[in-house]
Amino acid sequence: MAQSFIPIKKFIKEPYSKILGYPKASSRQLQSRIFELEKLKIKSISFVGQTTIGSLQILGKGYVGVVVLAKKGNNVIALKIRRTDSQRSEMQSEAKLLRLVNTVNVGPKLYDVSKNFLVMEYLDGDKIGDWIQYLQGTGSSKKLKLVVRTILEDCYRLDQMGFDHGELSSISKHVIVGKSRSTLIDFESSSVNRRVSNVTSVTQAIFIGSGIAKKVQRVYKIPPKQKIIDVLRIYKQEQTRRSFDDILMILKL
C-alpha cells in the first residue's frame, strides 16, 4: 500500500477538510480539531483504503466516524474521526469499550482518545469477506480454519466477560484478517448491558448466512446446517467452554 502523508495543517481547506469535519464543518470546528490533533501528537494523515469520500480514499466509514491512516510521532496508526452529524457527542465512551476488550487481547490496541478522535493500532490486512474471496481457488482450507478459529476464540472471550459487539451478524465489515494478527474491529455499537451473542452471530454469519457462507463453502465443506444449529442452541443456553468446544468440533476447527 503506497503511503503519502499530508500535514494536518492542510486540513483546514478542501478536499482534506471534508474528511476532518465529515460530512460538514465550519472553519472554527476544523481549526479546533486541528488543535486537538496537535495535542494528540498526530502529525499527518494518508489517504489509502477501499472506502472513498469524494476523491479521497479512507480505511472505513461508519455511523459514528470515519477511519484514516495517520502518523503519531513516527508511528503509523489508525485514526477514527467523529462525524459532525454523529449522535455521539464524544469518543470517550467508545474508547472505554475498546479498552475493555483490549484486556482480553481483542480488537486493535487503543493508544489515545480525545473528544473527537480515537487513536488506535493500525492493522494492515483485509476485511474478512474480501480475504475469503482471495482464498477461493487456492484450496487453502487450513488458513481459513485458523482465522475462523481465532475469531471465534475472540468471541468466546467477549461472551465470557458479558460484552456484546452488536454488529457481528454483518461480519464482513467487522473482522480484519491482518498480516500480524486477525481480530474484531469497530466497537461503536457494543454494550455490556445486553445479552451477548458474539459466538452465535459469527458462526451463523460465516457458516449459515448467505453471503460469506457461500464463499466459505468453496474453500472447505461446511457441516450440515442442522448440526451447527443444534450445537449453537446448546451453547446459547450454557455458554460453557465445553459447549463452545462442541461448536469447534462440529465445524472441524
Closest CA to 20 of 81, 76, 64: 81
pLDDT bin (cut points 50, 70, 90) of residue 17 is very high
Q: Is 38 helix (H, G, I), strand (E, B) or coil?
A: helix
The yes-or-no verdict on residue 129 having pLDDT over 90 is no
CA angle centred on 24, ends 112 and 174, rounded to 5°: 50
The residue written with cell numbers 452471530 in the block is 201
- What CATH number should be reported for the domain whose range is 5-121? 3.30.200
Domain 125-250 has CATH 1.10.510: yes
Determine contact, residues 20/34, Cβ cutoff 8 Å: yes
pLDDT bin (cut points 50, 70, 90) of residue 43 is very high
Exposed, middle or buried, 176 (CB in 10 Å: 0-12/13-18/19+)?
buried
The yes-or-no verdict on residue 110 having pLDDT over 80 is yes
The share of the chain scoring above pLDDT 70, in percent, equals: 98
* Domain locations in the chain as residue ranges: 5-121, 125-250
Q: CB under 8 Å to 122, separation ≥6 — which residues?
A: 69, 76, 77, 78, 108
Closest CA to 62 of 200, 198, 167: 167
The yes-or-no verdict on residue 139 having pLDDT over 70 is no
Determine contact, residues 203/251, Cβ cutoff 8 Å: yes
Q: What is the pTM of this model?
A: 0.92
- What pLDDT shows up at residue 241? 97
Count Cα atoms within 13 angstroms, Cβ side, for 2: 2
pLDDT one-digit tens code per residue, 72-102: 999 999 999 999 999 999 999 999 999 999 9
Q: Packing angle between helix 141-160 and helix 211-219, nearest 10 degrees? A: 130
The residue written with cell numbers 480484519 in the block is 176
pLDDT one-digit tens code per residue, 143-198: 899 999 999 999 999 999 999 999 998 888 899 998 889 999 999 999 999 999 99
- What pLDDT shows up at residue 138? 66
- Calculate the average pLDDT of the chain: 93
